[in-house]
Amino acid sequence: MILLTDLKIMIMKKGFIQIAVTKDYTLFNYLPMNRSIDSKQVEALVESIRAMGVTRQVICIKTACIDGELKTYVIDGQHLVHACQREDMPVEYRYIEITDEDDIVNKMAFYNNSSKSWKLMDYVNAWQYVHPDYLTLKKFKNLYNLEPLMIAGICNNSDSYNAVSAASQLIKNGNFRVTNPIAEEMCKDFSDLFIKIGRADRWVKHQFLRVFIQAYDGKNYNHRSILENIDKNIATIKTMTDISVANQFIQRNVFNLI
């Protein structure tokens, strides 16, 4: 009787290994743009393996675009590899084809979302290795305690709800770009407002962003005066929940636009 743990099974397709089983855990490399290993998730998989065995394959690619050397990288299943290693069990894995670095991130996000949905910053962390604009977005996120979508709106000078919402898809699909030359200055100033606003309704804060971008385009933007206006009206701001009412109130009483 031949045990699965005693051999590698390989199926050749299009000139390279498509499916294999191995206990050589050193074969697997991990993409710098993927999420970090979570030991709690490894523990959960160990419990699952002990109860039901391994029920799925690890998804891999073979590429030299990471460090110039052709290697096997895990696209999906890095926690499973660690769990199998802990249990001294073989890893069943298969290769998928990729075309370029963009394709790596897109497929990594696609497979990972099936097990645990990616947050917006997961996409930022992944795409930063491919497009430098994502490094800028991450830099601003680290400097200023603003939502990624708010920063994206400032980076694109987008003051409409639809434009800010569309930024989410741009970030996810790798098409986010910084087009506003004064984005960092605006992030800093809006962060000052954000601190003042505090625990206001989230969508009221987004109305602040919309009006802020509109006001910043004008020649009469006075940062000190706006901060003072927030202090004067903070009690009302913190109780507002109606978006349209909030927008009108912010324009009139904070930014003096109407």
pLDDT tens column, 39-70: 999 999 999 999 999 999 999 999 998 888 99
β pairing state of 71-76 and 28-30: parallel
Q: Is the pLDDT of residue 230 over 70?
A: yes
Q: Is the pLDDT of residue 3 over 60?
A: no
- Band of pLDDT at residue 24, cut at 50, 70 and 90: very high
Token code pair at residue 97? 């084809």
Beta strands in the chain (DSSP E): 11-13, 16-22, 28-30, 58-63, 71-76, 91-95
Task: Say what the pTM is.
Answer: 0.79
- Band of pLDDT at residue 218, cut at 50, 70 and 90: low
CB distance 182 to 188 below 8 Å: no
Rounded to 10°, the helix 39-52/78-86 angle is: 60
Distances (CA, A) of 67 to 55, 63, 70, 101, 201: 32, 9, 8, 12, 45
CATH 3.30.43.10 fits 4-117, yes or no: no
Rg (CA), the chain: 24
pLDDT (0 to 100) of residue 258? 82
Q: Using alpha carbons, select from 124, 112, 127 the residue that is nearest to residue 151.
A: 124
CB distance 61 to 75 below 8 Å: yes
Q: What is the mean pLDDT of residues 106-125?
A: 87
Q: Is the pLDDT of residue 6 over 50?
A: no
* 50-57 contact pairs (CB < 8 A, 24+): 50/87, 54/80, 54/84, 54/89, 54/91, 54/92, 56/80, 57/19, 57/92, 57/93, 57/94
Exposure string over 136-173, b if 16+ CB within 10 A, otherwise e: bbbebbeebebbbbbbbbbbbbbbeeebbebbeeebbe
Query: Rounded distance, CA 218 to CA 215, Å?
Result: 5
- DSSP annotation of 218 reads S
Q: Is the pLDDT of residue 13 over 60?
A: no
Average pLDDT, the chain: 88
Q: What is the mean pLDDT of residues 10-36?
A: 78
Query: Rounded distance, CA 235 to CA 224, Å?
Result: 19
Give the least confident one: 5-9, 84-88, 157-161: 5-9
Instruction: Indicate the domain borders of the chain.
Output: 4-117, 121-253
